Each structure stands twice: as structure tokens, then as C-alpha cells.
Amino acid sequence: MRHIRIRHWFFASLAAAIFVQCASIAQPQGGPRDSLPPLVVSTVPVQKAANFKGRRILLNFNEYVALRDQQKEFVISPPNLNGSKPTLTVKGRSIQVDFQEQPDSNTTYRLDFGNAIADNNEGNRLGDYAFIFSTGPQIDTLLMSGLTVDAQTRDSVIGAMVFFFDAAADSVASRDSTLFNARPDAVFRSDSSGFFLADILRDKDYRVYAILDKNGNQRYESGADYVAMLDTVYNPTRMPDFDMWIEPAAGRKGPRRQIDPPQLRFELFMEEPVRRQTVLGTSRPERQKLEIVFNAVRQAEIVSFAPVGLDSTWLTRENGIKGDTVWYWIAPPTRADAEALQDTIRARISYMTQDSLWNPQLKTEELTFVHRIVDPTARGRKSNTAYADSVKKVKEARRKAKRAARLQKKWLKVARQISRRRGDPKRTDAELLADSTLFKQVDVDTTQTDKPRREDELPAKNPFGFEVMAANPLNPENHIRLLFNYPLRSVDDARIRLTKLSEGQSSLPSRDRQSAVAEPGKKTETPEPFTVELDSATRRLLTIRADWKADDEYSLLIPDSVFTDIAFQANDTLQSIFKVADSSKFGTVIIELNEDDALPDYEYILELQTKDGKTVQRVKHAVAGGSYKLRYLSAGTYRLRVTEDRNRNGEWDTGSLVERRQPERIRIWEHPLNGRDILAKENWDVAVPVDLRELFERP
């Protein structure tokens, strides 16, 4: 009996072990996915502690945590003088913050972790967490709110850093260097709605700036980061009240903070980098085109430009769109002079730049322009060694042998078909090749082992180039514009022919009809008067204007050699048949700017845009009191963007931090009831009254 009990006990233990082992392998079942961020359960010292004298802070959470993008997300306010940050260390369910140096005395600190804290398993982020403490007897608790937007798009800017500087310590001279040299008293960051709340301020005047840090180094870099500055100083005790609330989560959007009205408003812009003018490089993309690239975006002030061996009267200057590029076109009077141009041209240029104190200074340089002719049929570099030449010959021989074999195979196939039709007995390939009578009947040349090149079969392309800037159907307000690759030397506009096409008519009535009627398929051509305008500045833009009639069909014929450019190249024949758009199939928007004597003497830029921000039509140099009709708009929803053009140049100009110049203001027009949407319908006029004062006073 004892042996039986031991045996039963042994098998029971073995079964239990197997059962436990199998259970340990199986995955746990059920349970929802963790979607909650970690929570702070305690801190050492406590949140908003005063008289803190240590150098270590400990944050304890309810689960294991990790740090993500801490270099970019973690911000300390105020920052250390040397730019260093405390060291962050993750220890299980805690984060340890160690200051490398003793914090400043009598100072309120704010450790902004942004979205750096997440749980270790699912990566759920604890957003916008900040820890505040003071090394003095009290916490600075004055508040100031604000909003950050893009100066051009008017969209909210997420993650902009807002710097508060002591206005008494950081006086602004003629050139503002506060962001580069001074230490801010406090730093804050805008949230996902563009709002920010500064909550550790004192009762004093502040000079406030905002930047959008693109590279994450938490320092402003001109030309790389967006920036905004305010024109005056602000004290939190003298600011108007504001309301703040949290909107609940909706859809994929989480809870969002709302502030109304924001006390400070920043319009961030990308300023042109402040650089001393200098020549970055030169090139000669065309034989008669010299290109100079400067490092400053502003238009170069060239005092003199003298190429060696060229007559200065041959040169025509053209400025690039951005202003940092200048082209000089060479227009010799004769073809012989054009062909005699050297491949390398040297020139002496004198232009205005700045010295070390930013005072105007004249600089002279020697420039070189080299024109290299590239053979488009060449592949790679040509070999210049005997070994490379021998390898090339072997490859060429193999290629010819393969082509000869393919041609012989094709010849044998045709020869065998002819032999069968003649009733010859079955023959081998050698017998077919030996039959001389077949060579006269098989139309396959087996000696052409060199494959003809495609460029040898096609006619040479005319180097004269231009772009037709017109659509079909034609918008009659835009006319027909031609943009040429080279400036034109001559235009023989008397040879251009513009005719209106209409249904043809029978010349004589017949017995079956008493009057002439239209014959299907035939159209008559009636000459139409037109004018040709050539841009005198560049001589590269030509406009053909006519009294276009809606829904009519026209034919434009430009014979060859009507246009001749400075390289003595002429155009080929161009013929086009097109229709003019019918205005009844499009909508019209009439923009009426109110007249107000109190408005400054500015001009305005009106841009009608689609909902995705694409500009459909633009009006430059608009003035208060004017009415502007935008026609030929496809049915749809648009919005109106109005730019305050202070310098009347027809373009939006950015601001300058160093010069403390704000960017030109941009506003999106809104209807009091319908909002921003402007609905255009076919054969319908929509009036858009714009109160300029109300528009630009509105933030």
C-alpha cells in the first residue's frame, strides 16, 4: 500500500508541474489597452515650495516612466547664464532633477517638461507638466496671457517660446540685441491652440519676445527661426482681465485651453538674415548670360560692372525675384561678335557693403565667368588611358557580334519561309546560308551591325525657347503673354496674324434656299486688330492684347523668324486656335474698400484664395475708397486676404528684429454672420465690403 501511495503522489506531482508549466507559457487574456498618462503622486520638495536650498528635485509617479525628446521639450525658467540645464535621470517610477550649480537666490523657478514625460509601456504622454519652486520666501504668481500666430497665414503657432526680459535691465538701443545677449527672467511655451500663460511674473515692466525654435536649441538664429517682438513694455499689474477655460475633448482632439481676450499677441515672421553684402558665387549658364549671386536677399547696390574685352553698351541688367541674384545679358550687335565671345570672361565689380561697424563701404572684386559646352549625347567621362580604350574596343566588338547574330537569326527565319514556299526539301542553316539565290530574295541586311543613333534620325531642335502664359479658354483680362528664354533683339509684329473664326457661309443662294446659310465644317476668318507690348526692362516678356469677345474662337499665327533674340536665334512657326472664356459661366467678386480719412496713406494687396490657401487672383496697389472686380472665378468657396502695403512695393515685406521693424500686417476678411467664406456662383456678382480700419484693428 505504501508503494501505491508513493506512486500516486509521484504522478500527481508530475501532472501538477506540467500544468503549472503550461500555464506559465500562455499569454494573459483580456483587459483594455492602457491609454492614461502617468500621474504625479508626490514630489520632493512639494509643488510651489518656498525657501528651497537644495540642488535635487524628485518627482514620483504612479507607474514606470520614460523621457522622450527631453533636450527639445525640457525648458527651465529662468535659464542659467551659461546655457546649461539640470540633469534628468529616470529611476523606475521617479524622475530625478539635479542642478549642476546652486540655483539663484530669491528666484522663482519653473521646470517645464512639455511632452517629455511618458509611461514606459504604452508611451502615453503627460502633456504640459511644470514644476514650480522658489529659492526665496515667496512664489512669484502674477499672470499674463497671450496668443502666438503666423504673420502670413494667421494660423496659431504651436510650441512658440515666449521670453520675458526685465525692461529696466535690457534697454533697447538703435539695433536690438536683447535676444542675442540678455538673459530672460522667465520663459514660457505656447500650447496646441497657440495660447500661453505666464504664471511666475513679478510686479515690474517686461520687454517680451517670442520665437519658434526650429532646430530645438532654444536660442534664436536669424534666418532659421521665426521671431516676434512687441513695440512697448508690459506690466502684469496693469493688464486688462481675461477669461480662461478648458474645452472638453472632441473626437481626436484632446482638451484645449482657451483664453479670451489674450493680453499679448505675437505675429511671428521669418526675418531676412542680417548679413554683410558679398558675392557668393558666379556662373555662366548660357553663353550670353552672366549670373552673380549675393548672400544678402536685399537688392545689391552695384556701382560698376566692367567685363574685360566687352563693350559696356552690350550689357543689360536683370534682377532676380528675391533680389539676391543679378543677371547680365550680353547682346553683341552682330552675329560675328556673338560667335567671337570667349569661353572665359573676367570682370571687375564694385558694390556697396558694410564694414565691421555696419557703416556703408565700397567693395571691389575680380569675378570670372566660364561657359562650358556639355554634349548631351555623351555618357560619363571619356577614358584617357590605353587600358580603358582597349576595354572599350572589346565591349564594342562584343556588341557588334551580338547584333550580327540577331540579324543572321532573322535572315534564316525569312529564308526558311521562302525555301518552304518554293517546295525545297528541309534544309539546315548551313545549307540555307550557302544558297546564293536566297540572298536576292531575303530583305534583311546582315552587315548593319552598328545600330543607328536616335539623334541622327531626328531633326535638330531649335534652341530658341519661350513659354506661352495663357490658358484655353483664354481669360480676356490676362491676354496672351509670351516669356522668352533670351531677351529679344527684334520683333516683326507686322507678320503676326490674329483672326476670329466663325461658321462659314455659302457664297450664293441656291434654288432650295433664298439666302446664304452656314456650311458645316467650314469656318471663315476675320482679321482682328491687336497690339503687341514688349517689356522694356527685360525685353523677355511680350503681351498680345485684343478686344476679346466672350465665347468667341480665335486663331493666332506667328510665322517663323518673327522673334529674334540676342543670340540671333529665331522662332519656328506657331499656330494656335483657342476660345475666350464666357463670363456667364463664371462668378464675380466685387471688393469695395471703404474710404476713411483717418487711415494712413498706405496701399493694399488683395488676394482671393481657396480654402487651402492657394491664391487665385491678386490685386496690387489697391487704395482706400476703391472698388475692384475679380471676374472669371470658378464656382466655389473663397476667402479674402488683405495685406497692408506700407512701402507701396506691391509685395509683403517681412520684419526685422535688429531694426525693430514689424512685418506688414495681414488680415483675413470675415463677414459678421457668414465668417470667412465667400461663395462664388456662375453668372453671379458677390459684393464684399471691407472696412479697413475695423479689419486691421481686429487682432
Virtual torsion, Cα 272, 274, 279, 285, nearest 10 deg = -10
Please compute Rg for the chain using Cα positions: 39
Please give the class, per CATH, of domain 466-506+515-581. Answer: mainly beta
Pick from 116, 72, 121, 75: nearest CA to 95: 116
Burial of 204 (0-12, 13-18, 19+ CB in 10 A): middle
The predicted pLDDT at position 262 comes to 94
Sites in the chain below the pLDDT cut of 50: 1-12, 14-27, 378-384, 455-456, 505-518
How far is the C-alpha of 345 from the C-alpha of 357, rounded, in Å?
Answer: 34
Distance in Å from the first CA to the final CA of the chain: 97
* Residue keyed to cell 520675458: 164
> Which H/E stretch holds residue 591?
strand 587-593
The predicted pLDDT at position 450 comes to 56
Q: Quick check: helix, strand or coil at residue 439?
A: helix
Type of residue found at 581? A
Q: CB of 479 within 8 A of CB of 545?
A: yes
The predicted pLDDT at position 27 comes to 47
Neighbours of 358 (CB within 10 A): 11
Burial of 289 (0-12, 13-18, 19+ CB in 10 A): buried
Q: CB of 165 within 8 A of CB of 184?
A: yes
Pick from 402, 383, 379: nearest CA to 392: 383
Q: What is the CATH number of domain 40-268?
A: 2.60.40.1220
How far is the C-alpha of 689 from the C-alpha of 692, rounded, in Å?
Answer: 9
Q: CB of 615 within 8 A of CB of 644?
A: no
How far is the C-alpha of 631 from the C-alpha of 634, rounded, in Å?
Answer: 9
How far is the C-alpha of 284 from the C-alpha of 512, rounded, in Å?
Answer: 71
How far is the C-alpha of 365 from the C-alpha of 345, rounded, in Å?
Answer: 14
Q: How far is CA 56 from CA 30, 44, 88, in A?
A: 41, 8, 10
Burial of 565 (0-12, 13-18, 19+ CB in 10 A): buried
Q: What is the DSSP letter of 644?
A: E
Q: What is the DSSP letter of 241?
A: P
Residue extent(s) of CATH 2.60.40.10 domains in the chain = 584-697
* Residue keyed to cell 488680415: 667
> Which H/E stretch holds residue 16?
helix 2-25
How far is the C-alpha of 50 from the C-alpha of 137, rounded, in Å?
Answer: 5
Pick from 501, 506, 503, 466: nearest CA to 487: 466
Q: CB of 166 within 8 A of CB of 204?
A: yes
**The pairing of beta strand 574-579 with beta strand 195-201:** unpaired
| Ordered alpha helix ranges (H), 422-505 | 429-434, 454-457
DSSP labels, 252-287 = TB--EEEEES-SEEEEEB-PPP-----EEEEEEEET
Phi, psi at 497, each rounded to 5° = -125, 125
> Which H/E stretch holds residue 394?
helix 386-421
How far is the C-alpha of 183 from the C-alpha of 164, rounded, in Å?
Answer: 9
Strand-pair partners of 508: none
How far is the C-alpha of 434 from the C-alpha of 561, rounded, in Å?
Answer: 59
Q: Could you read off the pLDDT of 144-163 as tens digits, one per residue?
A: 999 999 999 889 999 999 99
Q: Which CATH architecture has domain 279-370?
A: Sandwich (2.60)
Contacts of 639 (CB under 8 A, 6+ apart): 608, 609, 610, 611, 668, 669, 676, 677, 678
Q: How far is CA 638 from CA 129, 585, 587, 617, in A?
A: 40, 17, 11, 11
How far is the C-alpha of 638 from the C-alpha of 632, rounded, in Å?
Answer: 13
Q: Could you read off the pLDDT of 541-578 as tens digits, one per residue?
A: 999 999 999 889 999 999 999 999 999 999 999 999 99
How many alpha carbons fall within 13 Å on the CB side of residue 685?
Answer: 7
pTM over 0.95: no
How far is the C-alpha of 584 from the C-alpha of 328, rounded, in Å?
Answer: 46
How far is the C-alpha of 587 from the C-alpha of 632, rounded, in Å?
Answer: 6
How far is the C-alpha of 550 from the C-alpha of 564, rounded, in Å?
Answer: 33
Type of residue found at 233? V
| SS3 readout for 490-515 | EECHHHCEEEEEEEEECCCCCCCCCC
- 273: which 3 cell numbers? 538674415
How far is the C-alpha of 220 from the C-alpha of 240, rounded, in Å?
Answer: 30
Phi, psi at 630, each rounded to 5° = -105, 110
How far is the C-alpha of 242 from the C-alpha of 173, rounded, in Å?
Answer: 33
Neighbours of 694 (CB within 10 A): 11
Q: Quick check: helix, strand or coil at residue 73?
A: helix
How far is the C-alpha of 414 from the C-alpha of 410, rounded, in Å?
Answer: 7
Q: What is the DSSP letter of 652?
A: -
Neighbours of 416 (CB within 10 A): 17
Q: What is the CATH number of domain 584-697?
A: 2.60.40.10
Query: Is the torsion defined by CA of 110, 113, 115, 119 positive or negative?
Result: negative
How far is the C-alpha of 258 from the C-alpha of 200, rounded, in Å?
Answer: 19
